Amino acid sequence: MSDDLCLHSYWRSSAAYRVRIGLNLKGLRYDIVPVHLVRDGGDQRKPEFSETNPQRLVPVLQHGKRMLRQSMAILEYLDEMWPEPPLLPATARERQRVRALAQVVACDIHPLNNLRVMQYFEREWGVPQPEREEWIRHWIEDGFEAFESLLQNHPATGHFCDGHAPSIADCCLIPQVYNARRFGMDLSRYPTILRIEEACLALPAFDAARPERQPDAP
């Protein structure tokens, strides 16, 4: 199978952002195919993209002829195909903690604030934008309270969410912090999250994955 990698991505998608970080941490070369999620009703709703992903979501990572979907599954695929540097720690107990941290974001915070949820609120229920943004802030705050608590004073927390190398937990956390800032959240209550964000963004792999550095960014 060809090692050619192509990421179907949207510059501001936090799920695609996670995968960009993972690809960068692995030092993998990849092309980006922009999928604009808003313009003209969204590229993801066009029939040709539905063949790429029946869920009509990004990211999709094409590896040779194989189409890989769901950001968390893609990150673990990358870790199995290219083990170095690892995105998961060595022991089962450590891996469980890292996966649990990642899923606080990927399973509990992000799905409530996804673009399609916000579009449904607007289209079907006529929820005004200030109320939609308050909904977003509420659920990020709820999740960050737990995330900060899970990090603070835990012996496994280091420069990053787990130890002194970034993991899938950091791949998930940093895009969610970006979203929190985008919606005007006060992050001062989360000092450990902010410290880890600073450590992550100092790394070229995270810096290059920033939304504003993507080829489809306005």
Residues 65 and 97 placed together within one structural domain of the fold: no
Burial class (CB in 10 A: 0-12, 13-18, 19+), 3: exposed
**Region 62-69: what's the mean pLDDT?**
96
Residue 218 lies in a domain: no
Cis peptide before 59 (omega within 30 of 0): yes
Indicate the residue among 59, 85, 111 that finishes a domain: 85
The confidence band for 163, taking pLDDT boundaries of 50, 70 and 90, is very high
Total structural domains within the chain: 2
Domain final position from 85, 100, 131: 85
The share of the chain scoring above pLDDT 70, in percent, equals 99
Residue 116 sits in the same domain as residue 191: yes
Average pLDDT value for residue range 48-74: 96
User: What would the mean pLDDT of 98-110 be, rounded to a whole number?
Assistant: 98
**pLDDT classification of 1: cutoffs 50, 70, 90:** very low
What is the DSSP secondary structure assignment for residue 63, as one 8-state letter? E
The residue whose two tokens read 């496994």 is: 156
pLDDT for 158 = 97
Task: Provide the pLDDT for residue 210.
Answer: 98
- Dihedral angle over CA of 74, 88, 99, 16, nearest 10: -30
Range of the domain at 166: 92-207
Q: List, for residues 81-94, the tens digit of each pLDDT value.
A: 999 999 999 999 99
CB 194 within 8 A of CB 187: yes
Q: What is the mean pLDDT of residues 30-55?
A: 94
Instruction: Assess whether 77 and 107 both reside in one domain.
Output: no
pLDDT of res. 2:
55
- Quote the pLDDT of residue 3: 76
HSE-up of 23 (CA within 13 Å, CB side)?
Answer: 28
> Whole-prediction pTM value?
0.97
Question: Please, which residues have CB within 8 angstroms of residue 200's CB and are 6 or more apart in sequence?
Answer: 160, 166, 170, 173, 174, 206
Q: What is the pLDDT of residue 169?
A: 98
